[in-house]
Amino acid sequence: MSGSPKYSTAQSSRERAERAERERAERQRRREQELARLRAEAEARAKAERDARRRQAALAVDGLQARLTVLENDAAAARVHLSGGSDTQRLLVRLRADLAADRLDRIGAEAAGAQRALDTAETTLDEQIDRIVARRELVRALAASMPSTGYVIDLSSLDEDQAGTISLRARALDGDVLAVVVQDEDGGGGHRMVYSNAEMLHQSDAGVVEGGTCTDLVEVITVLNRSVEQAGFEAGGVRWDDGGHVRPDERRAEQRPAPAQHTQERPA
């Protein structure tokens, strides 16, 4: 009878140890499950955040591309060159490559650079369009007054390059040809009109320009200036000599404060 209590005590101790071991194992299992759950949630959040960043980056690149397209369309409609457009397009190509390669950390700084480039391009384009619109009005005013000087515009000669220089020729009944070039003023925001006629150029090539030739051209220019001023421009003085060499007349016309219709608005 004396051995039974010892057996029971030993068995109870072993059972308690086994139960404690099972409880520790269960706690460890629950901890591992909780850790796995938290890791999965963290990974899901990280993926969601990265997906959101990727979507935001894609939207930013798409927005930059759309803005560039609008500026390109405006430039094409105005027949002017979009300054910085090609460089910005190349930058957008790099941005799309970074997006495809999941290099999201690089996109922020590059997108900011593209945004600044587009800001500059838009400002420059607006200035170009305003200047070209004014210049075309100036040329229309000149063309409208040509018949009163005895010249008829040769429509096939009318030309405008991407720099905004407009040139044309007009013919008189006596066969004389008047050439007019309207271009940017050196170092300023105005317009420079360069006139020459066949007789003056011929005499200039010969080294002697007769006073009557200059007088005749000045009379024509005087009539043309009236139409220029009526169109809202101010004409400057005539320049003939430069370093002793006779050259075609140059007149400067600076636009007065631009009327509202000269400003073209673009969607934001």
The mean pLDDT value for 108-113 works out to 88
Give yes or no: residues 140 and 250 share one domain: yes
Distances (CA, A) of 251 to 83, 181, 225, 239: 28, 10, 9, 7
- Within-domain flag for 138: yes
Asked whether the beta carbons of 134 and 262 are under 8 A apart, the reply is: yes
Condensed to tens digits (0 to 9), the pLDDT of residues 23-63 reads: 999 999 999 999 989 898 888 888 888 888 888 899 999 99
Burial 144-156 (b: 16+ CB within 10 A, else e): ebbeebebebeee
Query: Does residue 127 sit in the same domain as residue 155?
Result: no
Q: Is the pLDDT reported for residue 70 higher than 70?
A: yes
What's residue 31's pLDDT? Answer: 92
β-sheet bridge partners, residue 184:
191
Residue 1 forms part of a structural domain: no
Claim to verify: residue 244 and residue 140 sit in the same structural domain: yes
Query: Are both 243 and 143 inside the same structural domain?
Result: yes
Question: What are the Cα distances from residue 212, in Å, to 16, 225, 240, 244?
Answer: 129, 20, 14, 18
Q: What whole-number distance in Å separates Cα of residue 245 and Cα of residue 199?
A: 16
> Are 181 and 255 found together in one domain?
yes
Mean model confidence pLDDT for the chain: 78
Is the domain of 206 the same as that of 141? yes
Of 131, 159, 186, the one marking the end of a domain is: 131
Tell me whether residue 17 is in a domain. Answer: yes
Answer yes or no: is pLDDT of 245 > 90: no
Highest mean pLDDT among 7-11, 143-147, 193-197: 143-147
Total of domains in the chain: 2
Name, of 2-16, 79-93, 202-216, the range with top average pLDDT. 79-93
**pLDDT of the residue at 75:** 92
Q: How far apart are CA 93 and CA 85, in angstroms?
A: 13
pTM higher than 0.85, yes or no?
no
219 vs 70, 149, 186, 212, 226, CA distance in Å?
45, 9, 25, 11, 11
Last residue of a domain, one of 108, 131, 154: 131
